[in-house]
A = this chain, B = another copy of it.
Amino acid sequence: MSLIVHKYGGTSMGTPERIRNVARRVAKWARAGHQMIVVPSAMSGETNRLLGLAREVAPASTTAAVQRELDMIASTGEQVSVGLLALALQAEGLDAVSYTGWQVPVRTDSAYTKARIESIDDARVRADLASGKVVVITGFQGIDGEGHITTLGRGGSDTSAVAIAAALKADECLIYTDVDGVYTTDPRIVAEARRLKSISFEEMLEMASLGSKVLQIRSVEFAGKYRVPMRVLSSFTPWDIDLAEEARSGTLITFEEDENMEQAVVSGIAFNRDEAKVSLLGVPDRPGIAFQILGPVAEANIDIDVIIQNVSHDGKTDFSFTVHRNDYARTLELLKGTVAPRIEAAQVVGDPKICKVSIVGIGMRSHVGVASKMFGALSEEGINIQMISTSEIKTSVVIDEKYMELAVRALHKAFDLEQADAAA
User: Interface of A with B (CB < 8 Å)?
Assistant: 16, 19-20, 50, 53-54, 56-59, 61, 63, 65-66, 68-70, 72-73, 75-76, 79-80, 82-84, 86-88, 90-91, 95-98, 100, 102-103, 147-149
A72-B82, A80-B73, A83-B73 known; A96-B58 Cβ under 8 A: no
Q: How far is the CB of A99 from chain B (nearest CB, A)?
A: 9
Q: Out of B58, B59, B80, B90, which one reaches A53, CB within 8 Å?
A: B80
Q: Out of B50, B56, B72, B95, which one reaches A65, CB within 8 Å?
A: B95
A58-B90, A76-B76, A88-B58 known; A83-B65 Cβ under 8 A: no
A19-B57, A66-B90, A88-B58 known; A72-B79 Cβ under 8 A: yes
A72-B82, A76-B80, A80-B73 known; A91-B59 Cβ under 8 A: yes
- Expressed in whole angstroms, the Cα–Cα distance for A63 and B149 within the complex equals 29
Could you tell me if A16 and B56 are in contact, using CB atoms closer than 8 angstroms?
yes
Q: How far is the CB of A317 from chain B (nearest CB, A)?
A: 48
Could you tell me if A69 and B87 are in contact, using CB atoms closer than 8 angstroms?
yes
| Residues on B with beta carbons closer than 8 Å to the beta carbon of A57 | 16, 19-20, 84, 87-88, 91
What 10 pairs between A and B have smallest CB-CB spacing? Answer: A16-B56, A73-B83, A76-B76, A72-B83, A58-B91, A58-B87, A69-B83, A16-B57, A69-B86, A57-B84
| Residues on B with beta carbons closer than 8 Å to the beta carbon of A98 | 69, 72
15 pairs, A vs B, C-beta closer than 8 Å: A16-B57, A20-B57, A50-B80, A53-B84, A57-B84, A59-B91, A61-B90, A65-B86, A65-B90, A69-B84, A69-B86, A70-B83, A72-B100, A73-B84, A79-B79
Q: How far is the CB of A117 from chain B (nearest CB, A)?
A: 20
| Residues on B with beta carbons closer than 8 Å to the beta carbon of A103 | 147-148
| Residues on B with beta carbons closer than 8 Å to the beta carbon of A95 | 65
- Expressed in whole angstroms, the Cα–Cα distance for A58 and B85 within the complex equals 9
Q: How far is the CB of A23 from chain B (nearest CB, A)?
A: 8
Nearest B residue (CB) for A61? B90
Nearest B residue (CB) for A85? B57
| Residues on B with beta carbons closer than 8 Å to the beta carbon of A102 | 102
- Expressed in whole angstroms, the Cα–Cα distance for A86 and B84 within the complex equals 27
| Residues on B with beta carbons closer than 8 Å to the beta carbon of A72 | 79, 82-83, 86, 98, 100
- Expressed in whole angstroms, the Cα–Cα distance for A63 and B75 within the complex equals 26
A96-B65, A102-B102 known; A54-B83 Cβ under 8 A: yes
Nearest B residue (CB) for A15? B56
- Expressed in whole angstroms, the Cα–Cα distance for A88 and B76 within the complex equals 18
| Residues on B with beta carbons closer than 8 Å to the beta carbon of A149 | 100
- Expressed in whole angstroms, the Cα–Cα distance for A63 and B95 within the complex equals 12
Q: How far is the CB of A26 from chain B (nearest CB, A)?
A: 14
- Expressed in whole angstroms, the Cα–Cα distance for A53 and B85 within the complex equals 11
Which of A72, A75, A103, A149 is packed against the most chain B CB atoms within 10 Å?
Answer: A72
- Expressed in whole angstroms, the Cα–Cα distance for A72 and B75 within the complex equals 12
Which of A61, A148, A149 is packed against the most chain B CB atoms within 10 Å?
Answer: A149
- Expressed in whole angstroms, the Cα–Cα distance for A96 and B66 within the complex equals 9
Instruction: Taking A20-B58, A72-B98 as given, write out 16 further A-B residue pairs in contact, using a Cβ cutoff of 8 Å, ordered by the A residue number.
Output: A50-B80, A57-B91, A58-B87, A58-B90, A59-B91, A61-B90, A65-B90, A65-B95, A66-B90, A69-B86, A70-B87, A72-B79, A73-B79, A75-B79, A102-B102, A103-B148
- Expressed in whole angstroms, the Cα–Cα distance for A61 and B96 within the complex equals 14
Nearest B residue (CB) for A91? B58
- Expressed in whole angstroms, the Cα–Cα distance for A88 and B65 within the complex equals 12
Nearest B residue (CB) for A105? B147
